A and B are shown apart, each in its own frame.
Chain A
């Protein structure tokens, strides 16, 4: 029976999602002009769905204190209250309002994941571009170092480092960013390598251009498109990794409202047939799906434009 109910709601959700994305695409195409307008008008429904979801998350994250009916950390009732008019999603194991924590979770979880990805990108792409452009021992040294780091599965490596440095938000961000920057390094180096072999780079070198000019003016404009797409993918990985760590109790620590730990704290409800703990997990999944849809569309566009 549970299965049939699940199927029914899945079908309803899908229908609503399709209708909303269609409407969003019409709206987005109506308010934009030129190149952007054409791109949005021709975007597949999956991509417009993705953009819509990302936009909603963004608004919720920024306006969290205005939307949430209760403060993030306040105990407002008894434990595990069911869904009521006052507490839309009930209360959690300590009696805090679930709905409010979901709202604040958007800000915390997504914000931390975003900061981590940005840091990973800063480290990884700067080193990757340098390695590809300078070449020689710098390239060899960095590449071998990254090879070794990548020989350790990232979650395991993260667990090891968190054991040692403890689990504060700052160490969490640093640890995940450093581990993930190895992947960014690989990609940005590979992409830049493809550009560096071009004759126009040789021409610039022979002209006597300095390293800074080479990287910022000649190489960077040619690698931004793939790097932006990769930023989306890396964000998904980082977001999932941080959520997994939080779920394991080793990531973002209470009392900060965070989706991964909310699932962990309230998981017992699932065995009683209450889906509330699935909601934060679903929120994670939804954002990741959305970002993936948009990235997929961008990659498809990039490959289509090349022909």
Chain B
């Protein structure tokens, strides 16, 4: 047991280290900005005096490493400084509500996509080369090939035009859950369709790989029922690959969310990031990028830990 704990501690430490380096990259990238940060803020109004004043105000006259650690220390406490575009407004204020909205949307899509994709993927693997498998496989291949905004606009064209669902997913403050689910249905459905395709294909591949193992053949040759072969012999060994598939695709959701939020004008982090990129509002971009990257790293870390725990070779040493 202690060995497993040590292993998990090692993974956690590695995850933290990755996050640390990621933060370095995100912060360091800003330093590559051609010209001066302060000039970028002031634009046309830049005079030597105003630039110097802004530099002092933002702490840009400090050396690089001090600024980095101040930024990181702030970020850990969820203080990302103030926005450049909306002068004086703390970035954290802009992020809080939107983070909640984005998580809601991602969770909404995940709840629909994960069971659907796993079921379809497992069925396609079990009925390999059947008509079902072929249709599911080529539809999935097509769906993967569609840009998210294409899927989104098709859904709008079909479902929103008839007035069944709103194409603008602005969620009014204080809306109840039912209202929220209704308003966010189209963006969630878009994400679901895109992610399901990926997840289904990966699940299918993982299960087919597993079913080719000699111990599955052995279980059949022992005269076990097909259902028992699946539940008792395949499933316990499928946890690790399936968890990995789910983690990879949830991580994919993070990216998908950006485009979908823009299409449906959904007030989430993705939209904020896109707006901030066009305004070159660097503190906001940094903050959002850090949050997305952290979520990504955490997902992969979780998958790693779960696969470790599901592996008898690691759980029961010699």
The residues of A with any CB-CB pair to B shorter than 8 Å are: 1-3, 6, 46, 147-149, 151-157, 159-165, 236, 240, 243-244, 247-250, 260, 263, 267, 270-271, 273, 275, 277-278, 281-282, 284-285, 288-289, 291-293, 296
Contact A159 B145 (CB under 8 A): no
Given contacts A151-B293, A159-B273, A270-B157, whether A164 and B29 have CB atoms under 8 Å apart is: yes
Residue on A with the closest CB to B288? A156
How close is B215's CB to chain A, nearest CB, in angstroms? 22
B188 close to A (CB within 8 Å): no
| Contact assessment for B162 and A1 in the assembled complex, using a CB-CB cutoff below 8 Å | yes
**Chain A residues with CB below 8 A from B276, complex form:** 163
The B258-298 residues at the A interface (CB cut-off 8 A) are: 258-259, 262-263, 273-274, 276-278, 280, 282, 285-286, 288-289, 292-293, 296-297
Q: In whole angstroms, how far apart are the Cα atoms of A140 and B259 in the complex?
A: 35
Verify if B103 is at the interface (C-beta below 8 Å from A).
Answer: no
Q: Which residues of B contact A260 (CB under 8 A)?
A: 147
- Taking a contact as CB atoms under 8 Å apart, the answer to whether B144 and A292 are in contact is yes
**With A155-B258, A273-B161 as contacts: A285 and B153 at CB distance below 8 Å:** no
Closest residue of chain A to B152 (Cβ to Cβ) is A281
Band of interface residues on B: 35 or more
Q: Which of A2, A156, A160, A240 contacts B157 (CB 8 A)?
A: A2
B259/A247 in contact, CB under 8 A: yes
Interface pair A152/B25, CB less than 8 Å apart: yes
- For residue A52, give the distance in angstroms from its CB to the closest CB of chain B: 16
User: Smallest distance from the beta carbon of B146 to chain A beta carbons, Å?
Assistant: 4
Cβ-neighbour of A160 out of B154, B289, B296 (below 8 A): B289
Find chain B residues with CB under 8 A from A271 CB. Answer: 156, 160-161, 167
| Shortest distance between the CB of B16 and any CB in chain A (Å) | 12
Give the CA-CA distance A147 to B19 in the complex, in Å: 11
Specify which chain A residues have a CB less than 8 angstroms from the CB of B278 in the assembled complex.
Answer: 249-250
When chains A and B are docked, how far (Å) is the Cα of A292 from the Cα of B22?
32
Q: Using Cβ atoms and an 8 Å threshold, which residues of chain B touch A293?
A: 138, 141
Q: Is the CB of B296 within 8 A of A153?
A: yes
User: B22 and A270: CB pair below 8 A?
Assistant: no
- Neighbouring A residues of B138 by C-beta, 8 Å: 46, 293
A147 contact set on B, CB distance < 8 A: 18
In the bound complex, do residue B285 and residue A159 qualify as a contact, i.e. CB atoms below 8 Å apart? yes
**Do B30 and A164 touch across chains, with their CB atoms under 8 A apart?**
yes
Chain B residues in 8 Å Cβ range of A263 = 149-150, 153
**Nearest residue, chain B, Cβ from A145:** B21
- The yes or no answer to B255 lying at the interface (CB within 8 A) is yes
Question: Which residues in A have their C-beta under 8 angstroms from that of B292?
Answer: 152-153, 156
What 1/0 mask marks residues of chain B from 126 to 144 whose CB sits below 8 Å from any chain A CB?
0000000000001001101
A154 to B: closest C-beta gap in Å: 7
Q: Within 8 Å CB of B254, what residues of A?
A: 153, 156
Cβ 8 A contact of A154, one of B19, B255, B259, B274: B255
Is B120 interfacial (CB 8 A cutoff)? no
Q: Could you tell me the distance between the alpha carbons of A277 and B146 in the complex, rounded to whole angstroms? A: 15
Task: List, in ascending order, chain A residues with CB within 8 A of B156's CB.
Answer: 270-271
Q: Closest Cβ of chain B: how far from A102's Cβ, in Å?
A: 15
Give 9 closest A-B pairs by Cβ, nearest first: A288-B145, A281-B150, A289-B145, A155-B255, A285-B146, A156-B292, A152-B293, A163-B277, A148-B21
Tell me whether B145 and A2 are in contact (CB under 8 A).
no
Q: Does B207 contact A (CB under 8 A)?
A: no
Interface pair A164/B293, CB less than 8 Å apart:
no
Asked whether A244 and B149 contact (CB < 8 A) given A153-B254, A160-B285, A164-B33, the answer is yes
Chain A neighbourhood of B289, CB < 8 A = 152, 156-157, 159-160
Taking the closest CB of chain A, its distance from the CB of B151, in whole angstroms, is 9
Chain B residue nearest to A271 (CB atoms) is B167
Contact assessment for B147 and A281 in the assembled complex, using a CB-CB cutoff below 8 Å: yes
CB-defined contacts of B286 to chain A, threshold 8 Å: 160
Q: Which residues of the partner chain A approach B149 to less than 8 Å between Cβ atoms?
A: 244, 247, 263, 281
